């Protein structure tokens, strides 16, 4: 029995593995490749110029690979890439890249994009990221592994969301979000360490305590940030996680905009 519904529209230039399922009225564009085990829901749009790996779930009415929403785009061929095991829920939208980037929007593995969230052109998303309903990220945003954006959070272009961070619902993100931290507010502020999230993925009590110590030293003082980071680097309890946090904050501090990707 065919796994492609007769009402689906598939461009002759698309390449689908034999194990792909396509629902009613779905549309798959030209030069699109879809890997084994992937399902495309009813009325979903995939492509053109999309690369989907294995075991992805594209739910009904999602738009994966739409044209970039950028006024400088003039119809150039650009791309969207998703790895394996991603879930894109109803009405979510992921756009292709632009030539202002490298032409690609890239998404890793095992991410969850809940209903009506938006990934703009030229974004880079790692693995095990969760974007809750109506979360929005603008162009050229980077989201590192296991970050969570809660419902209706909005991220300004060129911002970086650090790994294992947690962005509260309705939060307006205009600066980089440090790894391992919880940020909330309008605009966002660092509130505390993402202790619950770190515990859930297996961080040891010692690792978490080192991050907490760094948080108190960095974010609970009025002293100049560079001075604090320099002292912290010499501390005997600097773990790999704390070293990464320091390096992340140094990169952010080099930009007057508070976004390391936008010097």
144, 126 contact by CB (below 8 A): yes
- Domain ends where: 155, 170, 193? 193
| Residue 184 shares a structural domain with residue 223 | no
Residue 246 is part of which domain span? 200-253
Tell me the per-residue pLDDT of 131-179, one tens digit each, with 9 for 90 and over.
Answer: 999 999 999 999 999 999 999 999 999 999 999 999 999 999 999 999 9
Q: What is the mean pLDDT of the chain?
A: 97
Q: Do 156 and 205 share a domain, yes or no?
A: no
Q: 171 and 107, same structural domain?
A: yes
Residues 206, 141 share a domain: no
Place of tokens 């080192």: 210
- Cβ atoms 75, 46 nearer than 8 A: no
Annotated catalytic residue 139: yes
Last residue of some domain: 193, 224, 239? Answer: 193
94 lies in the same domain as 119 = yes
Residues 161, 63: Cα–Cα separation, whole Å: 23
Say which CATH number the domain at 71 has.
Answer: 2.160.10.10
Question: Do 185 and 244 sit in the same domain of this protein?
Answer: no
Structural domain ending residue among the three candidates 159, 176, 193? 193
* 61: its two tokens: 């009415």
Q: Is residue 3 part of a domain?
A: no
pLDDT in tens, 17-53: 999 999 999 999 999 999 999 999 999 999 999 999 9
CA 192, CA 129: separation in Å to the nearest integer? Answer: 20
Q: Is 122 a catalytic residue?
A: yes
Same domain, 174 and 243: no
- Both structure tokens of 235: 């501390």
Give helix 240-253 / helix 205-219 axis angle, nearest 10°: 30
- When pLDDT is cut at 50, 70 and 90, the band that residue 1 belongs to is very low
Name the domain count of the chain: 2
Q: Which residues pair with 124 in a beta bridge?
A: 106, 142
The active-site residue, picked from 29, 97, 139, 162, is 139
**Is residue 4 situated within a structural domain?**
no
Name the residue among 118, 148, 122 with its Cα closest to residue 135: 118
* Sequence-ordered list of residues with C-beta below 8 angstroms from that of 221, at least 6 positions apart, any chain: 228
Q: Does the pTM exceed 0.85?
A: yes
Q: For residue 17, indicate whether it is catalytic.
A: no
Q: Which of 41, 83, 97, 122 is catalytic?
A: 122
């Amino acid at each position: 029995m065919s796994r492609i519904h007769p009402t689906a529209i598939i461009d002759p230039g698309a390449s689908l593995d034999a194990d792909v399922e396509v629902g009613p009225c779905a549309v798959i564009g030209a030069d699109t490749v879809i890997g084994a085990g992937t399902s495309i829901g009813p009325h979903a749009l995939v492509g053109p110029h999309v690369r989907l790996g294995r075991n992805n779930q594209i739910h009904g009415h999602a738009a994966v690979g739409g044209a970039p929403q950028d006024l400088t785009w003039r119809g150039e061929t650009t791309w969207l890439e998703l790895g394996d095991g991603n879930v894109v829920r109803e009405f979510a939208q992921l756009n292709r890249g632009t030539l202002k980037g490298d032409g690609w929007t890239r998404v890793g593995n095992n991410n969850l994009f809940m209903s009506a969230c938006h990934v703009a052109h030229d974004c880079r998303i790692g693995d095990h990221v969760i974007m809750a309903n109506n979360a929005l990220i603008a162009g050229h945003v980077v989201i590192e592994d296991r970050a969570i954006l809660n419902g209706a959070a909005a991220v300004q272009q060129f911002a970086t969301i650090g790994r294992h961070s947690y962005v509260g619902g309705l939060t307006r993100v205009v600066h980089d979000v440090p790894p391992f931290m919880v940020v909330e507010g309008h605009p966002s502020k660092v509130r505390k360490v993402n202790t619950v999230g770190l515990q859930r993925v297996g961080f040891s009590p010692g690792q978490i305590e080192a991050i907490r110590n760094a948080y108190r030293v960095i974010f609970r003082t009025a002293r100049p940030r560079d001075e604090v980071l320099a002292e912290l680097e010499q501390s005997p309890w600097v773990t790999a996680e704390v070293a990464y946090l320091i390096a992340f904050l140094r990169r952010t501090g080099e930009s007057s905009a508070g976004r390391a990707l936008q010097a």
